[in-house]
Each structure stands twice: as C-alpha cells, then as structure tokens.
Structure 1
Amino acid sequence: MEADGGDKDKGLECYGIAFPDNCTSYHGPHSIECLITIWEEVDCKVKGYRYPNNLTTADSNTLKSLNLRDITANMEGAKSGADGGNDDHQLNCYGLVFPQNCDRYYGPHSVDCLATVWESKGCLSKGTKAPVKLDTSERDILDVLNVEDVRANMEGVKRAADGGNNPML
C-alpha cells in the first residue's frame, strides 16, 4: 500500500524498481509528467513523434495505464529500434530519420556518415574541410555532436562559403 501510495523506497522494496521522478505508482494510471520523465530517461527527444505530449489521447491513455516496466520497455523499444536503423523508430524517438550511412544519433560518426551529410549540404568532396580530409582532432569535434548538430554545423559552413566568408571549403 505504501508503494502504491507513492513511497519510492517502498516501491523499490515491493516492485524492485525505483519510481522515476513524477511517477507515484507502479501500476498507474500515470501522469503525462511521469511518461515524459521516462521518455527523457531512455534518451528519446522532444521532437520524437511518440513524445508523450505528441500522442493522441487514446495512445496516451493506453500508455498511462501500463505498469512502469512496460512503459519503460515500450519507450526503450522505440530507442533501440531507432538506434538499430529503423526509420519509423528514428522518427518516433528522435523526430528525424538519420542520413544515409549514419547509424546513430550520437557520435562517433563514420567518415561515410559525415561525407553524406557534407554532400547533402551541397559541399564538395574536393573542399579542404570535406570529412575525408579532416585530421583526427577535427573529426573528433564532429564526433561529440549529435547528427542534428552535425547537419547544422555543415549547413553553417555552407552558408558561410556561399557568403564568401569561409576559406575552409
């Protein structure tokens, strides 16, 4: 009873799971804040199509009625599928489909991935800052970025080059 009353220590004792922040019971119904906390803990993004606030009322109610383990498994499934290359799960978890040759949201990114993004921005492989020409320290900088930030970085290089401000191309 204490576990179902929101006591996190008792929840751990009774169900073997620490209730995430904003979650007050194991069985539910859970609040949208609880679902959002779990979503963030599995490392999916707000832009993801299955972000709890983006769900239909029916889908949200279904998720709210699951126990904490099943909610976490559902959301981890979206993340795992996304990281496994499934385009639908990438949209659901991250809100974008990874560029061709990119198999993860976070780095390190392969040279093929970086080259694909580079070329998608209209930059040429002959450019002095083309991914195949970067030294390890320059590539390491891109590897700490997520795939969205890599796109934005390369878009900035392209914009600066088109404005005549960037001798790096």
Structure 2
Amino acid sequence: MRQLYIKQKVLSLSGKFSVKDELENEVYFVEGSFMQMPKTFSITDAARQEVAMITKKVFSFLPTFFVDVHGQETMMIKKEFSFLKARYTIDAAGIEVRGNWWDMNFEVYQNRKLIGAVSKKWFTWGDSYQLQIADDEMEPLLVALVVAIDCAKAAQGAAAAGGGGA
C-alpha cells in the first residue's frame, strides 16, 4: 500500500505545497490561486501535468467546492445549513467516506471497496496528513479529496474568524 504525505506550509498566501512519498520525493504539487475569483487549487503530478482542479463556487449561499479529476467533475463538497456545528456533505458517484472526515481521520471506498485512508498527523507545524493508497488508479482523486476537505475547513475557519456564517 503506497503512502503519501501532505504537509501544508503555514502562512502561505498562495496555498502552495507539495505531496511527498515515504522517501520524501515530491509526487504532486498543489497551487492555489491568489486574489482570483473563483478560488481554485490546481494539483499537478511530478511532470507538472494537471491531474485535478478544485474550484470554490463563487455565488452560493453556503460554501461549495467542485473537484475535477482528469478534466471530469468527480465530487462536490457542500456545507449544509445547521445552527450548532458545521456540517458538510460529500457528493460523488460511487465514493463513500467513512469516519470523521472533518478531523481528517477516515477511509474512502468506491463501490464498497477500500481505495484509501487518511489520518491527521499531530504535533506538526501546519496541517499534515498521511494518505494510504490501496488503489493506484484512484490516487489523484484521493489527493484532491484531502486538499478539497482542507479547503472547506479553511473557508469555515475564515468565515468564523470574520464573523460571517460560511
């Protein structure tokens, strides 16, 4: 089972970071748009070919993120209306997330078959996640899923800090 590590750089204005393998080789590169509408995150492979794109919907009552993998929309992450605790849903054909995905500790299944697992690493500077890949073909989707959930969490944190309800 292949393992990847995602460590975001704290205070990076553009949202630029890499995804590394267990030997510390950079496997994917993530770059967020800076001061651009809509906010996007492009994920490229080691050859700098785009494998996924995350786009935050601009005009929506509740935050919504679209994830395209290899040019096709594969999932949507959307905040649900709630009063007490932030709740998001992940909508993707055949994809099921089991566990506490808001705290980044979950497994991902496609048609009931385990394709990957994510766990948050504690005591690190910035957010760090370990991604275990059970199905190599699903690797770009799994990387995009982790980045998209982290984007949704960041948007929620920014809205809470600004006093608005994201």
Same fold (TM over 0.5): no
Q: Which of the two has greater helix per residue?
A: 1
Larger radius of gyration: 1
Q: Which has the higher contact order (CA 8 A, sep 6+)?
A: 2
- TM-score category of the 2 structures, normalised to the smaller one: under 0.3
